[in-house]
Chain A
Amino acid sequence: MPEKLSPFHIAVLVYMTQSGIVIFTLPRSLADYFGTNGWLVLIPCLLLSSFNIYLITLVFQLGKGRSIFEIMEQSVTKVILYPFYLGLTAVWLVFGCMIGKKYVLLFQMLAFPTTNPMLFKLAIDVLAFMMLIKGIYKMSNAVTLFFWMTIWMFGLLLWFFPSFRWARFTPFILHGGHDQVKGAMEVYAAYLGYELSILLLPYVNKNKSKKSMAAIYAGNAFLSFVYICLSLICFGFFGPGQLKKLLYPVLDLLAYIQLPFIERLENLLYGFFLFLVLVTVVMYWWAAQLSIQRIVPKVKTPVLLVILLGISYCISFVPKTLDQVNVWITNLGYVVTGIAFVLPLLLIMILLIQRKGGASHV
């Protein structure tokens, strides 16, 4: 019997998958697209993502914890499924890869600006590969360790309290923004990652299924809590006017932390964000690996991973600048958001049809 994930591990896994590179730009996106008190937008995002998680829990209940691939393969022909799997693999693989590349390009603004970014990208890919070959159970153990290694940074927000002023918030609700639809998609992308929990369903301990489902909500809620605290601090510390001008307000926050004997602590702190980004990348690649494995089940996992990562590494050569990577991430983000909603809906439909068609298969 394969080892099962505990509810706590699921919550941590969901939170760690969700938090990643977007954290650096989120407060700015909120201020820029939504203007004053833009942080309020995080609340509907939390509700929407919670609704999406509700759909995922429905899949779990209706499918009795079976893997989504089994559910689909029971009722849909492979002629349709294989291209679909291929599509999922492509989107998840490239999305993960672009997140990794963005981290590298941002890192190079701070350090090693002229080194070839693909060298750093390779280092991250090697790390990701080493995690991926271990399988989801060991990955989740590592992720929990990473969680404890990074969560203390949340306490750094206390540093900004002395300069925090409520007066900077202004009483105006969402005034002075622009392109709100695009902004909403961009902000919602900060929540992405929870949708991969649909792939965790077969690893859920069936004796603790209720707690495990609650854990997905908990991971998402904790992320929202972190986002809201961070955005509140940013709005009260910088004010919306200044936030609009800062491209990476969280980098500036980190750079503001100064100790008498050391300047530019952000270089050190930025390193810790690698863990958050790495987990996001690894989880998307894990999802890509699962779906491609349905097409080529006989290929050994390490070999398959080498091929997948090789392809993704080649693709990551294409965008060269931060702006180009952003365009890729934004567009792929739309697709991933679409998958997040459509996939559980499709599965629920299939499951309902299977139910109607008689209990013979179940």
Chain B
Amino acid sequence: MFKLRLIPAILLLLLLAGCKSDERILEKLGMVQTASYDLMDDKRLKVTYCVPVTDPTSKVRRELMTTVSDSLKSARLQFSLQTDLKVVSGQVRETLYGIKLAKEGLGDYIDTLLRDPSIALGVRVTVVEGDAGDLLSKTFKSHNDTGRYITHLLDKESYGNSVPATTLYEFSRDFNDDGIDPVAPIVKDGGDKVVIEGVAMFQEDRYVMRIPAEDGIIFALFRDDLRQGEAAINLGEKDGRPVVVMLSSLLNKRKIKVHQLAGGRFKVDIYASIQGSVLEYTGEEKINESKARHELEQKISEYITAKADKMVEQMQEHNVDSLGIGSYVRNGLNYKEWTSLNWKEVYPEIEVKCHTKVLIKDYGKYS
């Protein structure tokens, strides 16, 4: 019996020697953290990888590699020729796409990334105004690693919902859903800083239009429920001075109601029910008086509604359904009706009305 027990023990020991060919030594790995992709004029792909340098004695904090290749993965083979490290993509956090590439469609690239088992669904998808490789290669003052800088910037902003937190998961999910189109944040080189430019809206996988960053929160209010956010609302001017109210700690419940009209038309009502705290108000009304506060709530909701209506109009003009109205229309139909309906043709024609209800929860600690 003793001998019988020994056999498995020896076998297990021998097995340990088996994985030599897949040995990974941390110091010899080039773990790509940010990757950027651009479309060249000859339709080839410019790929830039940013690998953090972990050696504490080294002066540089990152290693940049750029190549022009025919595909995402063949670029990695070319990078291997440029560096003493083994290039691996298991720690990629961010992928940047040049605007030109985004206009052509990201579907194929997202497909390649999702196929790779070493790449997780949580990798960010970001569009860059101009050339993504140039932005990633540039070093910004007080930020050693531009890739990480962009990731942190977007992480922080998407937490406040002013830009969508788009990862491979969200992008591919919305791309494969027939009732919604994907969105992604868009950034640009702002000289000495990276600046968030707005929200890029896609028709299926092709970038079509954008909304400016300051309207990002309004878009978010009508896209989903929110648990966090801040909005600065401009209520016009008083004596040549802008009247601004700052709504913080936003909570939002969104609802979409679809009405089917005669002749196969649709009318859609989108409701946003917003709660928030006022932390700044430059107008003259006394907001600690409930009447004035209610008026203010009314003004805020009118402002948001007007903005949202205009935004939806633009989206309909460009035929992008970034709010996911399609999925609610679909859910009100039976299968045959939905499959025989060409949503892309119907969408620009439907009547959409946004409704906003604002509740000021509190107004700070000063009257």
A interface residues with partner B (beta carbon < 8 Å): 36, 109-116, 119, 122-123, 126, 129-130, 133, 163, 167-168, 170-172, 175-176, 238-239, 241-242, 244-246, 251-252, 255-256, 258, 263-264, 266, 302
Most chain B beta-carbon neighbours within 10 Å: one of A110, A114, A263: A263
Contact of A239 among B11, B15, B173 (CB under 8 A): B173
Taking the complex as formed, is B178 at the interface, i.e. its CB lies under 8 A from any CB of chain A? yes
Contact of A113 among B11, B22, B91, B327 (CB under 8 A): B22
Q: Is the Cβ of A123 less than 8 Å from the Cβ of B21?
A: no
Asked if B68 CB lies within 8 Å of chain A CBs, one says no
B173, A167: Cβ atoms under 8 Å? no
Q: Min CB distance, B11 to chain A, in Å?
A: 5
Q: Can you list 23 A-B pairs, Cβ within 8 angstroms, ordered by A?
A: A110-B117, A112-B22, A113-B22, A122-B11, A122-B15, A123-B12, A123-B15, A126-B12, A129-B8, A133-B4, A167-B324, A167-B327, A167-B331, A170-B330, A170-B331, A172-B338, A241-B176, A244-B176, A246-B114, A252-B121, A263-B120, A264-B118, A266-B120
**Assembly CA distance A226 to B334 (angstroms):** 30
List of 5 A-B pairs having minimum Cβ-Cβ separation, nearest first: A241-B176, A119-B18, A112-B22, A255-B120, A242-B176
Q: Could you list 5 further interchain pairs (A-B, Cβ under 8 angstroms) beyond the known A130-B8, A263-B120? A: A109-B117, A114-B21, A172-B334, A239-B173, A241-B176
Assess whether B8 is in contact with A258, with CB atoms less than 8 Å apart.
no
B76 in contact (CB, < 8 A)? no
A residues in contact with B170, CB < 8 Å:
163
- What residue of chain B has the Cβ atom nearest to residue A175's Cβ? B335
Given the complex, which residues of B lie within 8 Å of A256, measured CB to CB? 120-122, 169
Q: Which residues of A contact B179 (CB under 8 A)?
A: 167
Does B236 belong to the interface (CB within 8 Å)?
Answer: no
Q: B19: CB under 8 A from chain A?
A: yes
Evaluate whether A258 and B120 lie within 8 angstroms (CB atoms) in the complex, with A167-B324, A241-B176 already known.
yes
B window 173-228: CB within 8 A of A:
173, 176-179
- The answer on a CB contact under 8 Å between A167 and B8 is no
Residue contact A115 to B8, C-beta cutoff 8 Å = no
B34 at the interface (CB under 8 A from A): no
> Closest CB-CB distance, A249 to chain B, in whole Å?
10
Q: Is the CB of A112 within 8 A of B19?
A: yes
| CA A119 to CA B12, docked complex, whole Å | 10
B242 close to A (CB within 8 Å): no
Determine if B120 and A241 form an interchain contact, defined as CB atoms under 8 angstroms apart: no
